[in-house]
Structure 1
Amino acid sequence: MVVGLLNANPIVYKKKERRARNVPTVIDEYAVEPIDEQEIFDYIRDIKDPEHPYSLEELKVVTEDSIEANDKQSYVRVTFTPTIEHCSMATLIGLCLRVKLMRSLPSRYKVDIRVAPGRHATEAEVNKQLNDKERVAAALENPNLLELVDSCLESTYA
């Protein structure tokens, strides 16, 4: 048992089998497959939880159902569910989600990261931090925090 964790023994779920994506049969520089919920989920499912050796998918912090994507409006919303109401890592998890999507999606996308309603004690504060460009930029200027984010994202680049 790990000492000092608020949720030392989280419930771990089985990962979903990866589904094949539709690949256009004609390659054209202007033909681009629209980005959908499955693609967003594939980008973020393997992000490692900061406190545990499990992915956000295995802890059901993120699910395919918690993602909204609108390619025509260049909009993505990910609603994540911390494992406990007082999760001290909620802001870091949200930052990892945001950074992974910033690095994976074209720059035209607006990304909205949210804690599931009623699932965290400081939900409004976490949501405000995660969706404030200046706060996110300041967080990413901190080398220690950036190193932690990168370690959580490491498995998503395989």
Structure 2
Amino acid sequence: MGFDDLENINPKLYRKCNDREVTTEEESDDIYDEFDAREIFDLIRGINDPEHPLTLEELNVVKQNDVCVDNKNNEIKVLFTPTIPHCSMATLIGLSIRVQLLRSLPPRFKICVQIYPGTHASEEAINKQLADKERVAAALENNDLIACINDCIVVD
């Protein structure tokens, strides 16, 4: 993608969170440790933006406060905020978040990834696509699309 193709040439950057301190209790296999919002945030904060060499955390696309974990009902909800209201990469970003969580979490979790209300011009249509299991599965069968997603979620 060339410089002229970028939708948001000069995105605003945000400060990263400090790394989470891991306690001995969290490392112990003898103690039951439920998933929390910070743990889920840590899984998605390092996802790369499709257009910029920056993470979703650095662009403030994902925030810990926009992650909700319900261990009792095995549900995780992530809201993300595109950098601009007409971002054409919003679906790819949502898919990247979803794939990262699907690959990282036990299959018992129902994962919901949505655009933060009022932050995108096509919010309703994109949320509908991201919620449709069949459309997501079909998208993940597309080799070019899965290559883009893998580029976004690659861990250095």
Q: TM-score range by the shorter chain?
A: over 0.9
Deviates more, 1:50-59 or 1:8-17: 8-17
Match of 1:62 in 2: 62
Q: Which residue of 2 aligns with 1:135?
A: 135
Aligned to 2:21: 20
- The question of 1:82 aligning with 2:82 is answered yes
Partner SS state of residue 95, structure 2: helix
5+ residue gaps, structure 1, are: none
Cα distance in 2, alignment partners of residues 26 and 126 from structure 1: 40
- Cα separation, partners in 2 of 1:8 and 1:48, compared to 1, 3 Å: same
TM-score by length of 1: 0.93
Provide the secondary structure at the position in 1 that maps to 2:76.
strand
Structure 2: give runs of 5+ residues left out of the alignment: none
Q: Which residue of 1 aligns with 2:71?
A: 71
Q: Residue by residue, what CA displacement relative to the aligned partner does 1:86-131 show, whole Å, maximum 9, x if unpaired?
A: 0000000000000000001100000000101010000000001011
Of the structure 1 ranges 69-78 and 87-96, higher mean CA displacement relative to structure 2 is found in 69-78
Q: What's the RMSD between the two structures over aligned residues?
A: 1.4
1:41/1:26 CA distance change after superposition, 3 Å: closer
State the one-letter code of the partner of 2:6.
L
| Residue aligning to 1:2 | 3
| 2:112 alignment counterpart | 112
- Give 1:32 deviation, angstroms: 3.0
Structure 1's consecutive aligned runs of 4 or more residues displaced over 6 angstroms after TM superposition are none
The 3 A distance-change label for structure 1 pair 20 and 117 is same
Q: 2 CA distance for matches of 1:90 and 1:63?
A: 16
Quick check: 69-78 or 55-64, which moved more?
69-78
Q: How many residues align?
A: 154
- Partner amino acid, structure 1, of 2:119: R
Give the TM-score normalised by the residue count of structure 2: 0.94
